[in-house]
Structures are given as C-alpha cells and as structure tokens.
C-alpha cells in the first residue's frame, strides 16, 4: 500500500531497500533533512515506523515493475541500497545473488538512464582481495568471493551507464534496524558476554567498521551535492574483529577474559573473506565533508538505541 504525502516542489529521491538497515537510516535522515521528497521502496509492506515519506512496494528483480515505478515517479536521484549482502548465502545461492545484485542493478540503471536520474550505487570492500588494505578509490579490484564479484559487476554497469552516477563503497556496516531484526558484532559480543559465554574472535582480519547512520549520511552528501565518481564511505578506525570485541566489552564493562583470540583458519565458511580491507576516506572527507563517528562513539549510539528499542 502506498502511503501518500503532500505534493511538493522538492526534488524527488527514490530509495531501494528502504526496509533494510541502511534504507531505514537513509529515509529517516532524508525526511529530517527536508531537502527532498522521499519515496521509499521495498519488497513487501512498509516496515518503517516514521512518517514524512511515501512508500511504494517494488520487486527490483522484476524489470517491468522497475521500469513502471521509476518512470512514473521520475526521481531526480536514486539511491540503490537494496542488495543480497549475506556473503555465505551469496556463495551458496549464486542464481539468487545474480538476480538481486546484478540483474536488478541493470534494470534500475536502465530505468534511471531513461529519465536521467543521478544514480547512487552502494558497493563494498569485498570487491578487493584483502591482500593490501586499507584501500583508496583507485585500488584495483580482485574479489575473492561470489558476493564481491556480483557487486563489482554492478559497479561496472553503473560506471558504463549514460546517466550521472556515483558509487558509495563501504565496509562492515553495523547498526540497529527499528525492529531489532539484524545482529552485528557489537550486539553479538554484548549478548554472549552477558550470558557468560566464551567467544572466539579473529584477529587476523582488518576492517574499518561503519555505523549505518554514517553510511546513510555519506550517501546523502553525495545526493545533495550531485557528486560523481567513486567514494569510500566508511569508518576511519582500522580494527580487527578482536579489537572491536575488546572495545565492546570495555564499553559495557563486561568480562574481557571470555574473549579468546583466534584466526581465520579456525573457521570454515562457504565464502572466503578478504583478510585486510578497510578504506582510506580522504576523498570523501575533502570533497563531500564526510566525517564518520569513531567506533567507540558508534558503540555508545547503539547502546542508546538498544534501550530505546526495548522501552
């Protein structure tokens, strides 16, 4: 069901994947910012709890539907945040992964080209091998898993499109969706330690973890400035998962002795992970004015959101 909003003279911005973690943060911040008429789209009914936007059901894997919705709404900007992001599921269900991450991106790019929307594509550090991170925007891609391959194909489609485009690459996004439906490293460490469970955490992988609110803010800066090209939008702290677990335990004053150092060879997962990624974000800082929160500040933000969500 579409939730109507008043007609406005503001430029329209359409968000794919609005029911997801990033999508929710994008819609909230765009509505608060008040610079755009916000059209949220997602598969199935609207799961967002706030107002100030219109909602349109959209199956991005259906080319006819994509064409109809984008043509009818004619947004000046599209932020394509919908994706199949479970790396192991992508490895095990490659056909579905291609449908969502490759084909759907192609349908959306074609629809954007027809009306010349500014197309913002959300991508990932998993397009890189992980041999020599942190990476800047010019680094050569070499994915080590199927998810990374599909996102790299998506990037290529966007770069070769005939409309204006930007790519927002990010790393290990963490945050809380309004229905607490997703877990993340902070929630996992907190709940495990509170239950007195010993946990094994790897210390041979490197990331620059990104607060979902920061990623949303970076995408919106691109939209507002109609910025073009590739931007690394991530946190600035270069951390191992073990570092993140220790910082989480410190913040919540939990027993760090339950956190045991491990390495990637001890875990078997369907998809290979790049070892050392993370991003250099100087370009986004200098060109967009992007400034992410520290990981410690991010833990504090999540701590408050957990309390609010349960109250």
Query: Would you say residue 155 has pLDDT above 70?
Result: yes
- Characterize the bridge pairing of strands 118-124 and 54-57: unpaired
Confidence tier at 309 by pLDDT (50, 70, 90): confident
Determine the angle formed by the axes of helices 185-194 and 295-310, rounding to 10 degrees.
70
* Sequence-separated (6 or more) residues with CB below 8 Å from residue 101: 83, 84, 90, 147, 150, 151, 153, 154
- Per DSSP bridges, beta strands 210-211 and 173-174 are parallel
Instruction: State the pLDDT at residue 49.
Output: 87
Instruction: Indicate if the pLDDT at residue 6 is higher than 60.
Output: no
Q: Is the pLDDT of residue 182 over 90?
A: no
> Kind and range of the H or E element at 199?
strand 199-202
Contacts of 283 (CB under 8 A, 6+ apart): 136, 137, 231, 232
Q: Where are the alpha helices (DSSP H) in the chain?
A: 21-33, 63-73, 87-92, 94-98, 104-115, 146-159, 185-194, 212-225, 241-252, 282-283, 295-310
Angle between helices 241-252 and 295-310 (to 10 degrees): 60
Taking the C-alpha atoms of residue 89 and residue 97, their distance in angstroms, rounded to an integer, is 8
Task: Give the mean pLDDT of 43-55.
Answer: 94
Banded model confidence at residue 180, pLDDT cuts 50, 70, 90: low
pLDDT digits (tens, 9 = 90+) for 94-105: 999 999 999 999
Q: Tell me the pLDDT band of 235, cut-offs 50, 70 and 90.
A: very high
Higher pLDDT, 266 or 309: 266
Distance between CA atoms of residues 192 and 175, nearest Å: 17
**Structural domains of the chain ordered from first start:** 12-176+209-235+278-293 (3.40.50.720)
185-205 confidence digits (pLDDT tens): 999 999 999 999 999 999 999
Instruction: Give the total residue count for the chain.
Output: 311
pLDDT for position 179: 73
What is the reported pTM? 0.96
């Amino acid at each position: 069901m579409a939730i109507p909003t008043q007609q406005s003279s503001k430029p329209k911005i359409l968000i794919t994947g609005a029911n997801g973690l990033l999508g929710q943060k994008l819609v909230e911040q765009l509505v608060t910012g008040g610079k755009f008429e916000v059209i949220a789209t997602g598969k199935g009914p609207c799961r967002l709890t706030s107002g100030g936007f219109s909602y349109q059901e959209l199956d991005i894997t259906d080319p006819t539907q994509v064409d109809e919705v984008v043509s009818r709404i004619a947004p000046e900007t599209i932020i394509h945040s919908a994706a199949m992001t479970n790396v192991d599921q992508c490895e095990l269900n490659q056909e579905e992964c291609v449908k969502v991450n490759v084909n759907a991106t192609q349908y959306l790019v074609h629809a954007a080209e027809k009306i010349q929307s500014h197309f913002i594509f959300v991508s990932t550090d998993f397009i890189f091998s992980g041999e020599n991170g942190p990476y800047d925007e010019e680094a050569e891609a070499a994915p080590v898993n199927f998810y990374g391959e599909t996102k790299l194909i998506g990037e290529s489609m966007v770069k070769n499109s005939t409309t204006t485009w930007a790519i927002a690459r990010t790393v290990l996004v963490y945050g809380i969706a309004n229905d607490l439906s997703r877990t993340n490293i902070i929630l996992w460490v907190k709940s495990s330690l509170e239950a007195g469970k010993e946990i094994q955490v790897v210390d041979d992988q490197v990331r620059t973890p990104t607060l979902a609110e920061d990623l949303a803010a970076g995408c919106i800066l691109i939209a507002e400035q109609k910025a073009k090209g590739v931007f690394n939008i991530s946190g600035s702290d270069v951390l191992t998962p073990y570092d993140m677990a220790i910082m989480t335990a410190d913040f919540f004053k939990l027993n760090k002795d339950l956190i045991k150092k491990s390495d990637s060879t001890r875990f078997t997962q369907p998809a290979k992970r790049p070892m050392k990624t993370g991003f250099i974000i100087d370009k986004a800082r200098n060109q967009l004015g992007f400034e992410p929160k520290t990981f410690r500040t991010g833990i504090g933000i999540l701590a408050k959101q957990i309390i609010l969500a349960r109250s």
